[in-house]
Amino acid sequence: MKIAIIGGGIGGLTTALALKQAGQEVTVYESATEIKPVGAGIIMANNAMQVFDKLGIRKKIETAGYKISNIKITDAQLNTIFASDLTKFENKYGVYNVAIHRADLQKILADETGFKNIQLSKRLIKIEQENNFKLTFDDDTSIMADILIGADGIKSTVRNQLFGTGSIRDTKQRCWRGVTEFDWTSKYSHEAFEAWGKGKRFGFVKISDKKVYWFAVINETLIKDKANVTELFKDFHPEIVKIISETQNNNIIFNDIIDLQPINKWQKGKVCLIGDAAHATTPNMGQGACQAVEDAYVLGKLFGQRKSAEEVFAQYEKLRMGKAHFIVNTSWTIGKVAHYQNSIAVWLRNTLVKTIPKSANEKQLNKVFNIDYEIS
């Protein structure tokens, strides 16, 4: 059976690799002219690293990235509000959270998938379905596929044409992301930081000994005409301001923070949606790409059992939907709480976060990191 995956991002490539290892014939169709990362850095959390371990590429990703064992929420001056120690989960699952440049991660995934299984400059414009799928691209070429997987993002063509669902939600928050060289020697090693201010926050993490990935998020109401990101965060810790100001403009990208309002149908027949096409989330839990990787893992396990596509997709949806929607909804709530602007609300938020029991935090992390799906 010929499987077509639309989209060559992290989710699409990981799915291709998982299905390839399960003995399936897979081709990825990517609209870009090259496997080009969208974004800057990314943290692949414990759950995703478990999948990469099972796929045999964990060590390559760890070598290309930077291990993260602690996540800290701070105030704007980097005073710790809450710290999450990940060593318990490192010991439990045998893997680390890894901060890595998206370009490095996608290169590893593309190399492992094999470029013979990836077709570039293939922007899907039309899907015709009878017993199988006729896929027409904007270069006037078309192909036939027996099975179709939409890994084509929040504005998915597959979802729009075959499911007719999906409402994009705007958080009214805007985000800059950047990568820069910053020599801290041993400072901030193996830790990820997120500093919460009033209506804005700043996160940063090392992705190598000297490279730092950062993001700056702000309520759109606080963005004044022509204000640059350094100016907007001038009230944050001096090292945060320095990180922003020393980043070259061509290494900074700007995005709106959006997600997909949860939908309750990811599959029908021989077609299914994965990743952002099915459950795009805001980045507040660092789980967007990680959840796409989990999708790939479950699909790979199911196809490895030699079930029909219809059986695989129905079971995949049943197994994955609850957790994915939990991530989407929880992440949306965290984004709202993190962006309070009222001084009293900010003080109350910070005070309450400081009192979160360690046991409650570990319970939630275990829910996120656990990939022990009952696949039968």
Q: What is the DSSP string of 63-131?
A: HHSEEE-EEEEEETT--EEEEEE-HHHHHHHS--EEEEEHHHHHHHHHHHH-GGGEE-S--EEEEEESS
Domain segments of the chain as ranges: 2-43+105-169+261-369
Q: Is the distance from CB of 197 to CB of 75 less than 8 angstroms?
A: yes
pLDDT given for residue 21 in this prediction: 97
In whole angstroms, give the CA distance from residue 42 to residue 214: 9
Q: Report how far apart, in Å, the C-alpha atoms of 283 and of each of 44, 53, 337 are.
A: 12, 23, 14
Q: Is the distance from CB of 4 to CB of 147 less than 8 angstroms?
A: yes
In whole angstroms, give the CA distance from residue 214 to residue 349: 23
Closest CA to 366 of 119, 84, 160, 77: 84
pLDDT given for residue 129 in this prediction: 93
Cβ neighbors of 216 (< 8 A, separation 6 or more) are 175, 176, 177, 200, 201, 202, 203, 229, 232, 233, 244
pLDDT beneath 50: ranges in the chain: none
Cβ count within 10 A of residue 77: 12
- DSSP H or E run through 208: none
Residue whose pair of structure tokens reads 């709530």 in the numeric block: 333
Both structure tokens of 171: 């958080």
Both structure tokens of 197: 């201010």
pLDDT given for residue 37 in this prediction: 64
Pairing of β 25-29 and β 2-6: parallel
Residue 287, classed as helix, strand or coil, is: coil
pLDDT given for residue 374 in this prediction: 87
pTM of the full structure: 0.96
pLDDT given for residue 185 in this prediction: 61
pLDDT given for residue 209 in this prediction: 85
Fold entry, domain 2-43+105-169+261-369: FAD/NAD(P)-binding domain (3.50.50)
In whole angstroms, give the CA distance from residue 25 to residue 206: 38
Cβ neighbors of 342 (< 8 A, separation 6 or more) are 198
